[in-house]
């Protein structure tokens, strides 16, 4: 067992004993003009452990309660007063000291050690660049991997899964459009159909704009005749082509 895991288990045991939990609280007020970010809103509350001036005892033997569920709940808890910088938090995730909270389920989290890192398999992950993907002036961490991998945001002394590539129909990348960075999910898996969904954030828990555009065959049985749609409105080919040219010229893929 490596040292980090051991620390995680010990901290967990201590937390359990102290009955201290790091529960998220759902933020009451609605954010933004869009409706597709309930998980982001759930994550946006400040989550801290109060009065947890924990002493980590490295040399004690961990007890038998070693389940990964418990590791997910604890890891190294950071006191609010510590107020770690974004880059420090991302470093802690990369070296396995802290987990990242899932975007799907804010009660669930994962460590980098749970990912298949650098195995060379098509679906393995690798540490990518750090870039400001949510336009708040601070970097996010890109973990390159299958379907565009995982983008992580650090805030409130925690690391959050910000965006994730979920499959061939939801390949994750990012682009620069109209001076801002947008997260993009692409579906290019079928001939005669391409669909793109873009999201612009101002802070990873604050979705401020979305764009949808796609091209599809007018008739599935007739090749070559397509129609083009931007945000629900059919647009001419020229306009669609110009939009795509502009957007894809800046696209950064993060599969590898
Ligand atoms: Ca940022």
Q: What's the 179 CA to ligand 1 centre distance in angstroms?
A: 15
Q: What's the 17 CA to ligand 1 centre distance in angstroms?
A: 36
Q: What's the 137 CA to ligand 1 centre distance in angstroms?
A: 5
Band of residue 80 on the pLDDT scale cut at 50, 70, 90: low
Taking 70 as the threshold, does the pLDDT of residue 228 lie above it?
Answer: yes
pLDDT in the model for residue 75: 63
Q: What's the 139 CA to ligand 1 centre distance in angstroms?
A: 4
Share of the chain above pLDDT 70, in %: 68
pLDDT per residue as tens digits for the range 168-218: 999 999 999 999 999 999 999 988 899 999 999 999 999 999 999 999 999
Band of residue 224 on the pLDDT scale cut at 50, 70, 90: confident
pLDDT in the model for residue 186: 98
Taking 50 as the threshold, does the pLDDT of residue 62 lie above it?
Answer: no
Taking 50 as the threshold, does the pLDDT of residue 90 lie above it?
Answer: yes
Per-residue 3-state assignment (H helix, E strand, C coil) for the chain: CCHHHHHHHHHHHHHHHHCCCCCCCCCCCCCCCCCCCHHHHHHCCCCCECCCCCCCCCCCCCCCCCCHHHHHHCCCCCEHHHCCCHHHHHHHHHCCCCCEECCCCCCCEECHHHCCECCCCCCCEEEEEEECCCCCCCCEEEEECHHHCEEEEEECCEEEEEEECCECCEEEEEEEECCEEEEEEEEEEECCEEEEEEEEECCCCCEEEEEEEEEEECCCCCCCCEEEEECCEEECHHHHHHHHHHHHCCCEECCC
Q: What's the 192 CA to ligand 1 centre distance in angstroms?
A: 35
Number of domains in the chain: 1
Q: What's the 48 CA to ligand 1 centre distance in angstroms?
A: 21
pLDDT in the model for residue 83: 78
pLDDT in the model for residue 82: 72
- Note down the domain range covering 188: 3-253
């Amino acid at each position: 067992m490596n040292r980090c895991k051991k620390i995680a288990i010990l901290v967990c045991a201590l937390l359990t004993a102290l009955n201290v939990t790091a529960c998220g609280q759902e933020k009451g007020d609605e954010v933004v003009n869009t409706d597709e970010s309930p998980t982001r809103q759930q994550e946006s509350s400040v989550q801290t452990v109060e009065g947890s001036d924990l002493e980590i005892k490295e040399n004690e033997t961990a007890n038998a309660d070693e389940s990964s569920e418990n590791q997910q709940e604890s890891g190294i808890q950071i006191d609010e007063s510590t107020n770690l910088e974004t880059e420090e938090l991302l470093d802690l995730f990369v070296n396995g000291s802290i987990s990242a909270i899932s975007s799907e389920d804010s009660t669930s989290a994962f460590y980098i050690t749970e990912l298949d890192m650098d195995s060379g398999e098509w679906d393995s992950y690798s540490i990518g660049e750090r870039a400001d993907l949510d336009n708040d002036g601070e970097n996010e961490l890109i973990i390159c991997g299958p379907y565009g991998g995982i983008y992580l945001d650090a805030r409130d002394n925690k690391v959050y899964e910000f965006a994730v590539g979920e499959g061939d129909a939801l390949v994750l990348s990012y682009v620069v459009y109209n001076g801002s960075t947008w997260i993009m999910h692409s579906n290019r898996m079928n001939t005669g159909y391409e669909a793109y969904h873009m999201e612009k954030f101002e802070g990873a828990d604050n979705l401020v704009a979305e764009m949808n555009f796609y091209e599809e065959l007018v008739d599935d049985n007739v090749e070559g005749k397509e129609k083009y749609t931007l945000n629900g409105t059919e647009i001419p080919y020229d306009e669609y082509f110009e939009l795509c040219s502009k957007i894809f010229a800046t696209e950064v893929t993060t599969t590898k």
